[in-house]
Each structure stands twice: as C-alpha cells, then as structure tokens.
Amino acid sequence: MKIPLLDIEAQIKPLRKEIDIAIANVIDRHHFILGEEAGKLEEQIAKYCNIKYAIGVSSGTDAIVLSLKALGIGSGDGVICPSLTYYATAGAIARTGARPVFADIDLKTYNISIDSVDQILRNTQYAICNTIKAIIPVHLYGQCADMDPIMKIAKRYNLKVIEDAAQAFGAIHKGKKAGTIGDYGAVSFYPGKNLGAFGDAGCVLTNNKNLARRLHLLRNQGASPENKYKHLCIGHNARLDTIQAAILGAKLKYIDRWNKKRAQNADYYNKSLKNLDIITPYVANGNNHIYHHYILRVKRDKEKIRKHLIKKGIDSRTYYSIPLHLQPCFKYLGYKNGDFPKAEKCAKGTFAIPVYPELSKKQMDYIVKTMTESLL
C-alpha cells in the first residue's frame, strides 16, 4: 500500500465539476485580479470567522509582511516569534527590516512558551527590550497558541499581536476562530493547507476598521480606492487572484467537514497508539484542534521508525527539522545550539503521519500496524 502525507487528488475529485464551473466563470468575465469572486470570498470568510474584515492577499507570507508593515513595524524594531515554526513567520519579520526575536516552545502543544516570552521581556537588556514592538504567536499544526496570557503580556508591554493562523484556518480557541483575537490574523491558503487554493493565496483578518483600510492600501500598491493612480503609501503588489478566490469559494463550504474528519482520524490514532512508547498530540483546554498535521514525538531514534514507514510505503515528514534560531539565514542574529532546548528537542524527536480527511479506515489501520511494528 502507498499512502502519501496528503492526497490532494482524493480531495479534488468529488468537487471537480464545481471547481471547473467556478474557474470558467472567472475566465468568462476576465476580471482576474480582485474580481467579484475575491470580494465574495472576503465576505464569506469574514462571516465564517465572525470578524468584521477579511482581506484577500497573495499568500500567507504576504499576509504577515503586510500586517507588520500596516502596524508600522520595520527597521530597528524587534518582533517575538517561536523558534519552531515555518520559515515564513520569521522571514516576514526580517523582510520588513525588523529583527526576529526567538522564543522557545511549550513541549506539550508545540506552541510558543509564555514563560519564554516573559523571560525575554524581563531579562533582555532594556535598550533591546524597548525596541520589541510585536509578538507573532503561531497556531502550529492546527492548534491555537495560549492567547489569554499572550494578550495580557502584549498589553503590559504595549506590543501588537499578529496571529500566524497559516496552519489553523477554522480552528477555535475559547469560542473564537483562529486569527480573530490579535490585531491581525494571517491565514495561508497554500495548496497543502486544510483549505487550499491551486496556487498561492492568503488573507488577513481584523476587527479594526483603520487596520483594515491600511491593509487594503498596502496590498494594492498603496493606491487610493477612489483613484488607482493616486498612491497614498508605498504599497506592495500582494493582491488575491480571482481564480484562486473562486476555487477557495467552491471549497469553503467543506472546510468544517474536512476539519472534523481530520480530528476524528486523530482520535482514532490517539486510541490506537496509546499503549506504544510514543507521544501523541496534546490538546489544550479550550482548543478545537484542526490537525493540519498529526505530530508524533519519540524519545528514541525517530529515523528508524520513519525508515520502516518508508519501506512500507507510508509517507511522513518532520515539521521542522531545523529550528529557526539555528537556520543559516538567521546566523546574523547570534543564536546558538542549546538556546531553545524544547524547540531543538521537537525538531529532533517529532514527525507527522498522514491525517488528511480522505484517509480510509483500511489505510489508517495499515499505518497503525506499521507504526506498532516499528516500535516493538
């Protein structure tokens, strides 16, 4: 049996007709950038997330870059983010000219550690601490970070909060959708995400009218809504393609069903793997985890297990094998091995196995059987 980490074909097959029609409609109207479907998608997403504004942009990365810029963050500023996340979180900070300030993670949820953030803000020299302007909690693998203490710390130190909800569209934290708690929420619709486009796409969520207005300007060359050749600020070309919006619009109605199926698959794994020497995902109180990834952690050699999975045709992957503080591109920040032991431990000991909604019981049983063999 061959089981990929994600089976996009299995997801698209039953929706193919709907998607073809949605794409054809855009081609017929040939309004390819920020067309009617883009506006409609923004309304639908805002309604789905129970937020005032959803602003479609060209990718999840741009959603973070634009949010930082709209908050006035740039050269000379520092922005806290976890060391264990996809590169784009910190890459976006660096691209504004600001300095990524890494924090360690919580080894149970894999999300940013509040203690680590607190320590950074208390212990860092005042001169540096004073330049820290924002924090980006990442809702890693589909589970929200612990937002109450984050918002509390942000208030105490006057920090802006941008939620990186790239992996968590549809996740719920204490009754609120991921990305709707901070000043901005950044969402990715990268094809492999739970709600994925057929190319790059993303969106920014906010409840603040002024922040929404700034984001609208920044995504579209700083152009005035009244006169597209009058540029009110230095903006980006980071607009949402109408074809991507049409595809996302066709898929949006299935997201809750897909997320629920992922959670059911995760439950099945949790129960089936519970007697093995392996750590299954932990869900914090108040969280509705959408399992963008199902992460397992081992204390011993994970490569031996992964090799056995590969031999049996099962795909797996480590998210992320090098924590950001040890990435070559961030060497200039001066971090070293051992600075964030939990992020390093996670990079060494974790891997994801397939959890996508279209997995059959037979496939999951095969995965469980193979995992069991590898751990005996």
Ligand X SMILES: Cc1ncc(COP(=O)(O)O)c(C=O)c1O
Using CB under 6 A, list all residues that contact ligand X.
59-61, 85-86, 88-89, 138, 164, 166-167, 188, 190, 200, 202
Q: How far is the CB of 233 from ligand X (least distance, A)?
A: 22
Closest CB to ligand X among 330 and 371?
330
The distance of closest approach from Cβ of residue 39 to ligand X in the complex, given in angstroms and rounded to an integer, is 20
CB nearer ligand X, residue 144 or residue 278: 144
314: closest CA among 267, 368, 375, 350? 368
**Strand 53-57 relative to strand 202-206, pairing:** antiparallel
Residue nearer to ligand X on the CB measure, 167 or 265: 167
d(CA 262, CA 293): 9
Nearest to 268 by CA among 365, 143, 142: 365
Tell me which DSSP letter residue 220 carries: B
- Nearest approach, Cβ of 94 to ligand X (angstroms)? 13
Phi and psi based region of residue 117 (left: phi greater than 0; alpha: psi -120 to 50; beta: remaining): alpha
CB atoms under 10 Å from CB of 219, counted, come to: 26
Both structure tokens of 105: 């993670």
Torsion of CA 305, 306, 308, 314, to 10 degrees: 130
Taking the complex as a whole, how short is the minimal distance between the CB of residue 166 and ligand X, in angstroms? 3
Smaller CB separation from ligand X, 86 or 258: 86
Measured at CB, which residue is nearest to ligand X?
Answer: 60
Beta bridge partners, 160, equal 134
Rounded to the nearest whole angstrom, what is the least distance from the CB of residue 163 to ligand X in the complex? 10
Distances (CA, A) of 367 to 106, 269, 290, 320, 352: 27, 9, 20, 22, 12
Specify the residue, 81 or 364, whose C-beta has the smaller distance to ligand X.
81
Paired strand residues for 176 = 173
- Minimal distance in Å, beta carbon 44 to ligand X? 19
Closest CB to ligand X among 164 and 344? 164
